[in-house]
Structure 1
Amino acid sequence: MRPTLFRLLLQERRWDTWVVFCEQFEPMARRLAAETNCPRLASVTVSRATFDRWCCGEWYGRPRRDTARVLEALLGFSADELFSPAPETMQSRLTQTHDRGGLQASLAISRRWPTSRLFLSAAHEVADAWELQGRRLLDGTTTAVQFHPASVREGAATLQTGDLASLDGFLRPARRGLLVGVDEREEDVRLYVVDSWNARRVRSALPGRDDAMVLSAAHLLDDLSYGILWALVQLDDGLLADDQVLDAEQEALAIYLSLDRSAPSRMSVPGLSSVGASWLGSMFCARHLERHLSDAARPPVFFTREQTGEEAATWLLYRHKVDYLRSQTHRFVGGTPLSRAFCIPEGVVRRSARYERILLFLAVALMEHHGVQVRVTPRPEFGAVDGFALIPGQRAVVATWVRTDALWKTDAVATAADLRHFADLFNDAGSDSVAAGPDPCGRLRVLADYLALDWGWLTVRCRELGALGVARLVRPRSRLLSVDALNEVLRFVGRLAHLL
Structure 2
Amino acid sequence: MGRPTLFHVELKRRGWDDWEEFCIHFSAAARTLADLTGRRRLATASVGRTTFDRWAKPDYGGRPRKEAAQILEHIFGYSVDELFSPAHTPAELRQPPTEAAAVINNRWASTSRLIVPATGAAGMWELNGRDSLAGTAAAIQVMTAVRDEGDDEVRVLDPDGGLKQFLRPAARRGFLVGVEDQSDDYGLYVLDASSARRSQSVASSRENPIAIPRAYLLDDLTYGILWSLTQLDDGLLADDHALDAEGHNLDMYLALPRSAPNRQLLELTSAGSSWWGSAFCAHYIERELQSAGEIPVFWTREQCGAEAAPWLFFRHKIDYLRSTGRFASGGQATSRVFCVPEAAVARTERYERILLLLAIALMERHGIRVRLVTHSAYADMDGVALIPGQKAVVANWVRTGEALWAASTTSSRGDLRSYGTAFRDAEQIDILASPDPKSRLEELARFLDIDWAWVTTRCRAVAEQGVASLVRTRSRLLTSEGIDDVLSFLGTFASRV
TM-score, L = length of structure 2: 0.84
Q: CA deviation at 1:489?
A: 0.6
Partner of residue 163, structure 2: 167
Q: Does the aligned pair in 1 maintain the 2:154–2:214 contact within 8 Å?
A: no
Of residues 323-332 and 238-247 in structure 1, the stretch that sits farther from structure 2 once superposed is: 323-332
Q: CA deviation at 1:263?
A: 0.8
Alpha-carbon distance between aligned partners in 2 of 1:346 and 1:57, rounded to the nearest angstrom: 29
Q: CA deviation at 1:268?
A: 1.1
Alignment of 1:178 with 2:182, yes or no, is no
Partner of residue 310, structure 2: 314
Partner of residue 488, structure 2: 491
Of residues 247-256 and 382-391 in structure 1, the stretch that sits farther from structure 2 once superposed is: 247-256
Q: Does the aligned pair in 2 maintain the 1:435–1:447 contact within 8 Å?
A: yes
Q: 1:365 to 1:353 in 2, by over 3 A?
A: same
Name which of 225, 228, 236 aligns with 2:225.
228
Alignment of 1:139 with 2:141, yes or no, is no
Alpha-carbon distance between aligned partners in 2 of 1:54 and 1:255, rounded to the nearest angstrom: 57
Alignment of 1:36-435 (within 5 A): 46=50, 51=53, 53-56=55-58, 58=60, 60=62, 86=76, 100-116=95-111, 117-123=113-119, 126-152=121-147, 153-163=149-159, 165-172=161-168, 173-206=170-203, 210=207, 212-269=209-266, 271-334=267-330, 336-405=332-401, 406-435=403-432
Partner of residue 450, structure 1: 447
Alignment of 1:474 with 2:476, yes or no, is no
Alpha-carbon distance between aligned partners in 2 of 1:207 and 1:297, rounded to the nearest angstrom: 62
Q: Does the aligned pair in 2 maintain the 1:192–1:219 contact within 8 Å?
A: yes
Q: CA deviation at 1:13?
A: 6.0
Q: 1:60 to 1:99 in 2, by over 3 A?
A: closer
Q: 1:59 to 1:393 in 2, by over 3 A?
A: closer
1:493 is matched by which residue type in structure 2?
A: L
SS at match of 1:496: coil
* Deviations 1:174-233 (CA, angstroms, capped at 9, x unpaired): 311111111122221111100111111222345586352222211111111111011111
Q: Does the aligned pair in 2 maintain the 1:315–1:321 contact within 8 Å?
A: yes
* Deviations 1:78-124 (CA, angstroms, capped at 9, x unpaired): 99656865479xxxxxxxxx971111111111121111121123555
Q: 1:447 to 1:208 in 2, by over 3 A?
A: closer
Q: 1:174 to 1:392 in 2, by over 3 A?
A: same
Alpha-carbon distance between aligned partners in 2 of 1:85 and 1:250, rounded to the nearest angstrom: 62
Alpha-carbon distance between aligned partners in 1 of 2:305 and 2:492, rounded to the nearest angstrom: 22
1:372 is matched by which residue type in structure 2?
A: I
Of residues 313-322 and 246-255 in structure 1, the stretch that sits farther from structure 2 once superposed is: 246-255
Alpha-carbon distance between aligned partners in 2 of 1:272 and 1:55, rounded to the nearest angstrom: 38
* Deviations 1:159-187 (CA, angstroms, capped at 9, x unpaired): 33314642111011231111111112222
Q: Does the aligned pair in 2 maintain the 1:339–1:373 contact within 8 Å?
A: yes
Q: 1:394 to 1:85 in 2, by over 3 A?
A: farther
Q: 1:378 to 1:57 in 2, by over 3 A?
A: closer
Q: Does the aligned pair in 1 maintain the 2:393–2:408 contact within 8 Å?
A: yes
Alpha-carbon distance between aligned partners in 1 of 2:271 and 2:368, rounded to the nearest angstrom: 27
Alpha-carbon distance between aligned partners in 1 of 2:405 and 2:317, rounded to the nearest angstrom: 15
Q: 1:6 to 1:353 in 2, by over 3 A?
A: closer
Q: CA deviation at 1:498?
A: 4.6
Identity of aligned residues (%): 44
SS at match of 1:181: strand
Q: Pairwise CA RMSD of aligned residues?
A: 3.1
Of residues 7-16 and 409-418 in structure 1, the stretch that sits farther from structure 2 once superposed is: 7-16
Alpha-carbon distance between aligned partners in 1 of 2:416 and 2:241, rounded to the nearest angstrom: 40
Alpha-carbon distance between aligned partners in 2 of 1:4 and 1:369, rounded to the nearest angstrom: 47
1:60 is matched by which residue type in structure 2?
A: G
Alpha-carbon distance between aligned partners in 1 of 2:261 and 2:49, rounded to the nearest angstrom: 43
SS at match of 2:336: strand
Q: CA deviation at 1:4?
A: 6.8
Q: CA deviation at 1:59?
A: 6.7
Alpha-carbon distance between aligned partners in 2 of 1:228 and 1:174, rounded to the nearest angstrom: 21
Q: Does the aligned pair in 2 maintain the 1:4–1:86 contact within 8 Å?
A: no
1:167 is matched by which residue type in structure 2?
A: L
* Deviations 1:131-159 (CA, angstroms, capped at 9, x unpaired): 11111211111111111112233242323
* Deviations 1:297-342 (CA, angstroms, capped at 9, x unpaired): 1111000100101111110001111111111113534452010000
2:246 is matched by which residue type in structure 1?
A: E
Q: 1:442 to 1:242 in 2, by over 3 A?
A: same
Alpha-carbon distance between aligned partners in 2 of 1:14 and 1:274, rounded to the nearest angstrom: 35
Residues matched between the structures, number? 453
SS at match of 1:180: strand
Q: 1:292 to 1:211 in 2, by over 3 A?
A: same
